[in-house]
Amino acid sequence: MEDVAILITADGSAGLLRGLVERLSSGGITTTVVDELPVAVELSNRAAVPPCILVDLRDTAGGEIEDAQLAAQAIRRVVSALPHTSPVAVLAGSNVALAIACIRAGAGDVIDLEVEGTAAARVVVHRIWERQRGRTLEAEALASQRSMIEELLRDLIRTERRTIEAEDKLAAQNRRSSGEHVISDMRPPAVLLVEHDRDVADELADLLEAAGIATFAYVTGEEALREAGTLASTNGLDLALVAAQLPGMDGLETIRRLRDRVPGLAAFLITSVIEAELAANAADLGVVGFVQKPLADLQEVVDRLAQLAHESLTRTREQAYLQRIKERHERVLARYRALPREQ
């Protein structure tokens, strides 16, 4: 593979720069001259291996501290635009301080047009190009390895999921035969409804049940809290639908305490007025949304709640599967996490 370089200069390849390009070319290094960094970025991104970037800094080579800062800024711009390259600063008659400033800014090396001979310039460019080629090959190998492991993990998850489902069914059969109560993995979504208006609660519960959602209705937060833990362990809960205004404990406090018993339980508030303070407190609590009274379109409300309950149940199942798979294959996952990520 032929070494490739890009020279960024505002003055074109004349004088000393022309000599540099010719010397590199005689050594088998193809050099493209561009006048702007964006052009160099475009050409570099097209290359299989990032070219060695030569940056003409002769306008800043006066040796004063201000010039060193300008040179360092130019190098940092190149490194920022092309993070996989180590640019070479091209100077003429520069002092040590200026060269050091470039190296500290991220330059891979320095070529002094008034000092370097043909062989030395070729060595610098070839060394930087080879370093970048090595990084490219390493990154490609790493990407291939990561892709292979990710495909393995996907297959592992599919296989383990089937295995876990079979194990759960067998365990459930054994528990049933011994008289234990078992929550079916294929249970319908379940909603906990807390609404002090019994007529509204009954109508919502009937419609949710008709939509295939198991619904447990209560008229106070205290009553719901007494039953929530038992419901979660014996049936499972996926969504709470709670009136904001309740006798005794209010809706937000009810949701807060429900989550102590059922962590992560998704929740909706039923309210006649969505005040700014209520909305802010609900957002802090992570309430999913509001159902506003009067309930103008009950079927639309039920459809939305049913969808969210199904989504919550699906997330719960997926999290349970992934947690069990993680526990079984922690060593494989630890090795995957240890792989370096692309910068």
Please give the structure tokens belonging to residue 61: 């080579």
pLDDT of residue 312: 81
Q: What is the DSSP string of 8-54?
A: E-SS-S-THHHHHHHHHHHTT-EEEEESSHHHHHHHHHHSSSPPEEE
Report d(CA 234, CA 183) in Å as an integer: 6
Among residues 318, 312, 302, which one has the least CA distance to residue 264?
312
Helix or strand (DSSP H, E) at 242: strand 239-243
Q: Is 183 a residue whose pLDDT tops 50?
A: no
pLDDT of residue 43: 93
Q: pLDDT by residue (tens digit) across 75-108?
A: 999 999 998 889 999 988 767 888 899 999 999 9
Q: Is 181 a residue whose pLDDT tops 50?
A: no
User: Which of these CATH numbers, 3.40.50.720, 3.40.50.10190, 3.40.50.300, 3.40.50.2300, describes 4-140?
Assistant: 3.40.50.2300
User: Which of these CATH numbers, 3.40.50.2300, 3.40.190.10, 3.30.460.80, 3.40.50.300, describes 190-317?
Assistant: 3.40.50.2300
For 248, left (φ over 0), alpha (ψ -120 to 50), or beta? left
pLDDT of residue 73: 92
> Which residues, 6+ apart, have CB-to-CB distance to 24 below 8 Å?
5, 31, 121, 122, 125
Domain segments of the chain as ranges: 4-140, 143-181+329-338, 190-317
Please give the structure tokens belonging to residue 127: 């060394």
Positive or negative: CA dihedral 12, 16, 19, 25: negative
Cis ω for the linkage preceding 263 (within 30 of 0): no
Report d(CA 116, CA 98) in Å as an integer: 16
Report d(CA 113, CA 92) in Å as an integer: 5
pLDDT of residue 64: 54
CA distances from 108 to 81, 84, 125 (A): 15, 11, 10
Report d(CA 315, CA 288) in Å as an integer: 15
pLDDT of residue 94: 67
Span 206-234, average pLDDT: 87
Q: Of the ranges 159-163, 194-198, 271-275, which one carries the lowest mean pLDDT score? A: 159-163
CA distances from 144 to 83, 166, 196, 204, 289 (A): 21, 33, 59, 53, 43
Q: pLDDT by residue (tens digit) across 31-64?
A: 999 999 999 999 998 888 889 999 998 866 555 5
> Which residues, 6+ apart, have CB-to-CB distance to 265 below 8 Å?
192, 237, 238, 239, 240, 255, 258, 259
Among residues 133, 112, 103, 109, which one has the least CA distance to residue 4?
133
What ranges make up the beta strands (E) of 57-189?
A: 88-91, 109-112
Helix or strand (DSSP H, E) at 215: strand 214-218
Mean pLDDT of the chain: 82
